[in-house]
C-alpha cells in the first residue's frame, strides 16, 4: 500500500534471521554468484601453491616469538586458550558445522544455503590437512617451551584450527550478507579469528606463522571454493536448483 514500510520491497526489522532484506528471489548472500569467478579460482590456486612453498622455508624462524607467547599460558589465560583449542578440534568442529547446517536448513526451509555454507567450509578446510602432510613442518619444540602442551602427533603448518574458524566466519558472513545480522557476524567473526590465532600460539601447538598462513589460506581459497562448489557444481544437482528447496 502507498506509504507502507514495504513500498520498496524491503522487509521490516522483525524479518526472520536468514531472510533477505529485499523481496527478490531468495538468493541469500552465500548463493549470490561471483562477478569474477575465474579470478577467484585463480587466486585460490595461486594461494595454495605459494603458501605451500613458503611453508618449506620457515623452519624455526619464529621459535622465539612462540616461546614468548607460550609464557602467557598461565592461570585463566592458559585455561581459556586450551579450552578454545579443544572446542574447535576436528571432531567438535565437524559437529558444530553439522548443527549449524541443520539450523540454516530449518530456518530457511531451503537446502541450498545450508549445503553452500557447509561445503564452503569443508572444501576450504580439508585440503589444508593435505598441505600439512606435504610441508611437514614440525611444531614448536616442547623442550624449550615454558609451558609445553602435550605433544601433537601431526605436523603444524598450516593450522587446521585456524583454517577452520576463518572459513567458518567467512561462510557465515556471506550467508548473512543480505540480513541485518551481517555487521554483527563480521565483528564477532574477526574477534573469533583473533582469539583462535592467539590460542594456538599461546598453547604453542603452532608457530604464529602457522596460524597467520592459515588465515591467509582461508581468505584466499574460500572465494574460489565457493565459486566451484556453489556457482558451478550445486546447480548441476537437480534437487539443488533454484526453487527446489
Rg for the chain, CA atoms, rounded: 20
Q: What percent of the chain has pLDDT over 70?
A: 87
Tell me the torsion sign for CA atoms 167, 95, 193, 125: negative
What is the pLDDT at residue 242?
A: 64
Question: Minimal CA–CA distance to 82: which of 142, 149, 146?
Answer: 149
pLDDT in tens, 140-168: 999 999 999 999 989 999 999 999 999 99
**Neighbouring C-beta atoms of residue 107, cutoff 10 Å:** 14
More confident residue, 5 or 134: 134
pLDDT in tens, 220-232: 999 999 999 999 9
**1: pLDDT strictly greater than 60:** no
pTM of the model: 0.88
Ramachandran bin of 191, using left for φ above 0, alpha for ψ from -120 to 50, beta for the remaining angles:
alpha
| Arithmetic mean of pLDDT, 164-175 | 97
What is the pLDDT at residue 13?
A: 47
- Cα separation, 34 vs 49, whole angstroms: 23
Compute the mean pLDDT over every residue in the chain, rounded to the nearest whole number.
90
**22: pLDDT strictly greater than 50:** no
What is the pLDDT at residue 243?
A: 56
What is the pLDDT at residue 244?
A: 52
What is the pLDDT at residue 239?
A: 72
Check if the beta carbon of residue 124 is closer than 8 Å to that of residue 216: no
- Cα separation, 45 vs 39, whole angstroms: 10
What is the pLDDT at residue 140?
A: 96
pLDDT in tens, 82-137: 999 999 999 999 999 999 999 999 998 999 999 999 999 999 999 999 999 999 99
Check if the beta carbon of residue 213 is closer than 8 Å to that of residue 158: yes
Three-state secondary structure string covering the chain: CCCCCCCCCCCCCCCCCCCCCCCCCCCHHHHCCCCCHHHHHHHHHHHHHHHHHHHHHHCCCCHHHHHHHHCCCCHHHHHHHHHHHHHCCHHHHHHHHHHHHHHHHHHHCCHHHHHHHHHHHHHHHHHHHHHHHHHCCCCCCHHHCCCCCCCCCCCCCCCHHHHHHHHHHHHHHHHCCCCCCHHHHHHHHHHHHHHHHHHHHHCCCCCHHHHHHHHHHHHHHHHHHHHHHHHHHHHHCHHHCCCCC
**2: pLDDT strictly greater than 70:** no
Amino acid at each position: 500500500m502507498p506509504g507502507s514500510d514495504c513500498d520498496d520491497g524491503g522487509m521490516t526489522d522483525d524479518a526472520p534471521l536468514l531472510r533477505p532484506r529485499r523481496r527478490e528471489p531468495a538468493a541469500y548472500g552465500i548463493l549470490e554468484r561471483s562477478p569474477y569467478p575465474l579470478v577467484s579460482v585463480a587466486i585460490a590456486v595461486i594461494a595454495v601453491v605459494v603458501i605451500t612453498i613458503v611453508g618449506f622455508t620457515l623452519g624455526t624462524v619464529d621459535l622465539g616469538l612462540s616461546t614468548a607467547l607460550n609464557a602467557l599460558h598461565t592461570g585463566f589465560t592458559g585455561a581459556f586458550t586450551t579450552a578454545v583449542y579443544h572446542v574447535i578440534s576436528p571432531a567438535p568442529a565437524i559437529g558444530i558445522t553439522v548443527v549449524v547446517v541443520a539450523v540454516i536448513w530449518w530456518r530457511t526451509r531451503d537446502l541450498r544455503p545450508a549445503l553452500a555454507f557447509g561445503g564452503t567450509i569443508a572444501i576450504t578446510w580439508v585440503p589444508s590437512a593435505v598441505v600439512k602432510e606435504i610441508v611437514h613442518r614440525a611444531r614448536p619444540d616442547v623442550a624449550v617451551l615454558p609451558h609445553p602442551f602435550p605433544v601433537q602427533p601431526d605436523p603444524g603448518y598450516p593450522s587446521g584450527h585456524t583454517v577452520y574458524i576463518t572459513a567458518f566466519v567467512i561462510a557465515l558472513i556471506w550467508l548473512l550478507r543480505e540480513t541485518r545480522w551481517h555487521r554483527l557476524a563480521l565483528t564477532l567473526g574477526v574477534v573469533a579469528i583473533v582469539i583462535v590465532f592467539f590460542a594456538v600460539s599461546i598453547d604453542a601447538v603452532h608457530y604464529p606463522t602457522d596460524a597467520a598462513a592459515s588465515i591467509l589460506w582461508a581468505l584466499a581459497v574460500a572465494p574460489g571454493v565457493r565459486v566451484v562448489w556453489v556457482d558451478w557444481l550445486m546447480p548441476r544437482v537437480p534437487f539443488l536448483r533454484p526453487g527446489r528447496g
